[in-house]
Amino acid sequence: MLINELKLAKELIRRPSITPKDAGAINLLAKNLRSLGFKCQVMNFKNIKNLYAKLGKSSPKFCYAGHTDVVPPGNIKEWSVNPFKPAVKNNKLIGRGANDMKASIACFVAAVSKFKTKNKKFKGSISLLITGDEEGVAINGTKRVVKYLKRKREKIKFCLIGEPTNPNRLGEMIKIGRRGSITGRLTVIGAKGHVAYPHRANNPSNTMVKILKRIMRKLISIIMMVNILIKISMIIWK
């Protein structure tokens, strides 16, 4: 059975799955995957629906990770189409989630359906880890599913994140890894003073700017070093 990526993408976009609402997106996806032979497990954590679908049992285990939830559409009048009534204009699919990331999910499912027609028996397994909690606080989504998989000793060898990556044209880059984040709290204590005696005061804003500049310089040096290591590894890999 072949699945059409455009048709599936449109069907997913028609589900207004604004975090934390699912609006039927996960069940729709599970239905299509079951038609391809996937064993699907829908997991509910709090009010969030998640899906882990798997085809095959052997290794290597390849997983596609993504999400069906979307951010609010904002002012609908600023859209050229109703954001939940997708349309193709100038060869581009328009709708909330077309870019991030319902079309990506649809394309992967369609690709698997084509892969199956040419590979009746293949070594390894293909899985999808799809959450409905990525655009929000992201507490009851992927993290909870991964914890569940660990308890079941389900180990994933390779993982593809289907987030939009290419700024100019499709297929121009594949990123190895995923950017991280750091959150901290910086407190600078100053000293009150009078404008007539500035040397007796301490403006914490000036000190904070100096500290942030030092942090930024350090981060830039680390990023440059990482980029060098990536280039070296790519040369060695070739």
Catalytic residue among 69, 100, 133, 135: 69
Catalytic residue among 100, 133, 134, 135: 134
Which candidate, 60, 55, 52, places its Cα nearest to that of 144? 52
The alpha-helical segments, DSSP class H, found in the chain are 5-13, 25-34, 102-118, 142-151, 204-237
Terminal C-alpha separation, the chain: 37
Cβ count within 10 A of residue 105: 24
Question: What is the C-alpha separation between 124 and 188, in angstroms, rounded?
Answer: 55
134 in catalytic set: yes
The Cα angle at residue 162 between residues 183 and 172, in degrees rounded to 5: 100
100 in catalytic set: no
Task: Name the residues annotated as catalytic.
Answer: 69, 134
